[in-house]
Copies of this chain bind each other. A is one copy, B any other.
């Protein structure tokens, strides 16, 4: 099975990157299943029905999210769509669902969305034990288990990878909007990366207009953030489970790339 997972997609420029890159990339790499972190789809924060549908139409199978899932109220109209996940370790009273099993090519793929707790100011259940509980429910009915671990601290993300090593097919981190180069197969076989990175404006601070974030840091006053525009970067991770191939992808608009 060939998976592609796409890091946090930021606003209009990020969506444009998905639409321009994904269809041909799926063909070139014969990709079977695509997961995309969509918490920043709608103008940098949250998800709306049109932005959700825009990337689904481009070829995404499942959209995961994170701390920005509920930033835009419009998300409530699609929160029960089976292709949309929010972190499974939100409290049980949170709307939406944290994992789901999908069928593709006669295989059952379970996608689990989790969120780290270090430096994330949201009341969350333990992601380690939440994984254990979900795993026990789905292990006998899943051919592949894919985890989006949305988190800040590298120690927590890597510790989680080792914790689920051999049980998950792939653990990919999201949230920092910066791709890491630590992709690998862990000792017992789980494919892992700390962060898939950013799909959005290249000349930006994590997808946002640089002057706005600088202004926040040097004035200490509230600043409205807006997604940067212009040239995009598309960042993703490709996993071929048969060929045991794991490859980071970075495609800059207008530049050639090798796969």
Instruction: Provide the residues of chain B in CB contact with A160, threshold 8 Å.
Output: 217
In the bound assembly, the distance between CA atoms of A125 and B127 in angstroms comes to 11
A138 at interface (Cβ–Cβ under 8 A)? no
Task: Identify which of B70, B125, B181, B248 contacts A221 (C-beta below 8 A).
Answer: B70
In the bound assembly, the distance between CA atoms of A117 and B221 in angstroms comes to 15
Of all chain B residues, the one with the shortest Cβ separation from A173 is B178
Question: In the complex the two chains form, is B205's CB within 8 Å of A177's CB?
Answer: no
Question: In the complex the two chains form, is A220's CB within 8 Å of B91's CB?
Answer: yes
A257 at interface (Cβ–Cβ under 8 A)? no
Copy number in this complex?
Answer: 4
A53 at interface (Cβ–Cβ under 8 A)? no
Given contacts A159-B214, A219-B93, A220-B91, contact A180 B181 (CB under 8 A): yes
Of all chain B residues, the one with the shortest Cβ separation from A187 is B203
Question: In the complex the two chains form, is A126's CB within 8 Å of B206's CB?
Answer: no
Given contacts A91-B129, A205-B158, contact A178 B177 (CB under 8 A): no
A124-173 contacts to B, CB under 8 A, are 124-126, 128-129, 152-156, 158-160, 162-163
